[in-house]
Amino acid sequence: MTLSSPVLLVLGLVLLAGGADVLIRGAARLGLSLGLSPLVVGLTVVAVGTSAPELGVSVFSAWAGQGDLAVGNVVGSNIGNLLLILGLSALLRPLVVDPAVLRWDFPFLVGVSALLFALAWDGALSSVDGLVCLLLGCVYTWRSIQVGRRQGTETPEGVPRSVGRPRFATVARDLALIGVGLGMLVLGSRWLVDAAVHMARALGVSELVIGLTVVAIGTSLPELFTSIVATMRGQREIVVGNVVGSNIANILLVLGATAVVARGPVRVAPGALALDVPVMLFATVCCYPLLLTGGAVSRKEGALLMSGYFVYVVHLALTAARHAWAPGFARVALFAFVPVACLVAVGASVSAWRAGRFRART
């Protein structure tokens, strides 16, 4: 019996969310048993785990020849992480930002976002581009682990820390969880990609738009669930670390691996270069001063981030539908919302500079 595309889409999302949860549990416990600090686990092990759906979808899409879907998935996920997840989490409860994230990880994210724009400028990501990204991803992960081991060995509440060398049974259990989670992610990714491509063709919507919206939001569910639960439990500093680590992993590891294993260069659509990648870079740059002000993200700043994501998605929907309002809405967004966001970011930067936050981190 052949399942319909909407059913496959839902089943794929369920498997992705469930597989990511199983993978994160196993990876986090394994990382802690090997002596990694909670911040490093959040920025590396958990971040890579929550980026596993993006990895599965992007690699499978590129292998199947749907490069637009692969790139749109990563770029859309990063935009959603910054604007939707950070914004929603801050609306629930103001977020606390770990100084270590502001000192190194977020500036590094700004740099790799600009690097992606530069590598994609010729309209494709080659295997050499992918190797460069993977190398940077390995360097970032290695540095984070080394720094984390020097920062201490405090563990999150409810997560046991093993003393001395980890027991073989514990490591085997964690590896089994990781294997089950990866299996669920692979199957869920395949179902999700098949359903999304079929629906895009049936509705006359480009694979890029589907990747930027439906698939991107679906593969960002692990980050969304993790951030909301962490916020409600009062572990608000984890949210920013998870988002930053996931976005770095998406660019360096996900797109890097995708470009390496693809049968040819991964195509980057002109529309993505003209709008979506610049929006991702703009959102990343604007978020940094917001995080610097007071070392937190307030509810007002969360509302601004959420409104930015709403404007972006509405623009995509109007453009995909070729609606008569699309050009007018684009002009309003360009000449109204973007200047407001720039003014807020500049104001936050000036405030952070006067408080000495930039100078303290250079």
| Whether residue 90 has pLDDT greater than 80 | yes
Q: By percentage, how much of the chain surpasses pLDDT 70? A: 79
How confident is the model over 24-53, as a mean pLDDT?
68
pLDDT at residue 43 in the model: 67
- Indicate whether 38 pLDDT > 90: no
> In 3D, which of 114, 54, 85, 106 has the Cα closest to residue 250?
54
- Work out whether strand 296-297 and strand 95-96 pair parallel, antiparallel, or are unpaired: antiparallel
Kindly indicate the confidence band of residue 157, based on its pLDDT and cuts at 50, 70 and 90.
very low
Angle between helices 338-354 and 299-320 (to 10 degrees): 150
d(CA 140, CA 11): 34
Q: Mean of the pLDDT values across residues 162-181?
A: 72
Residue partners of 89: CB distance under 8 A and separation at least 6: 95, 227, 228, 230, 231, 236, 239, 297, 302
Model pLDDT, residue 17: 74
Q: 6 Cβ partners below 8 Å, 6+ apart? A: 195, 199
**Cα gap 361→230, rounded to integer Å:** 26
**Of 61-75, 133-147, 198-212, 276-290, minimum mean pLDDT range:** 198-212
Residue 161, pLDDT > 70, answer no
Average pLDDT on 51-72 reads 78
Q: Round to whole Å and give the CA distance between 250 and 270.
A: 20
Name the band, by pLDDT with cuts 50, 70 and 90, for residue 122.
Answer: very high
pLDDT of amino acid 155: 45
Measured distance CA(178)–CA(165) in Å, rounded: 20
pLDDT at 178 over 70: yes
The pLDDT of residue 284 is above 90: yes
pLDDT of residue 159: 43
Question: Looking at residues 86-103, what average pLDDT do you find?
Answer: 83
- What average pLDDT does this structure show over 337-355? 75
Contact 28, 46 (CB under 8 A): yes
Q: Any residues with CB less than 8 A from the CB of 273 and at least 6 apart, and which?
A: 117, 120, 121, 123
In Å, what is the CA distance from 17 to each residue of 175, 236, 250? 19, 21, 17
The tokens describing 248, both together, are 């770095």
Q: Phi and psi for 180 in degrees, rounded to 5?
A: -65, -45
User: For the ranges 5-14, 151-160, 322-331, 344-353, which has the lowest average pLDDT?
Assistant: 151-160
When pLDDT is averaged across residues 321-335 and rounded to a whole number, the result is 83
d(CA 313, CA 319): 10
Mean pLDDT value across residues 99-125:
91
Q: How many other CB atoms are there within 10 angstroms of residue 100's CB atom?
A: 20
Q: Give the single-character DSSP code of 297.
A: E
Q: What angle do CA 55, 232, 178 make, to 5 degrees?
A: 30
User: Which residues are bridge partners to 96 per DSSP?
Assistant: 296
pLDDT at 228: 72
Q: How far apart are CA 299 and CA 301, in angstroms?
A: 5
pLDDT in tens, 222-235: 677 667 766 676 66
Q: Count Cβ atoms below 10 Å from residue 31 Cβ, excluding itself.
A: 24
C-alpha angle 46-304-225 in degrees, rounded to nearest 5: 25
Quick one: how far is CA 62 from the chain centroid? 18
Q: Provide the pLDDT confidence category of residue 319 given band limits of 50, 70 and 90.
A: confident
Q: How far apart are CA 273 and CA 279, in angstroms?
A: 9
User: What separation in angstroms does the CA of 160 have from each of 95, 169, 308?
Assistant: 26, 15, 40
> What does the chain come to in residues?
362
Tens-digit pLDDT profile for residues 228-260:
766 676 666 667 877 888 899 999 999 999 999
pLDDT digits (tens, 9 = 90+) for 294-318: 667 888 888 889 999 999 988 888 8
Percentage of the chain exceeding pLDDT 90: 16
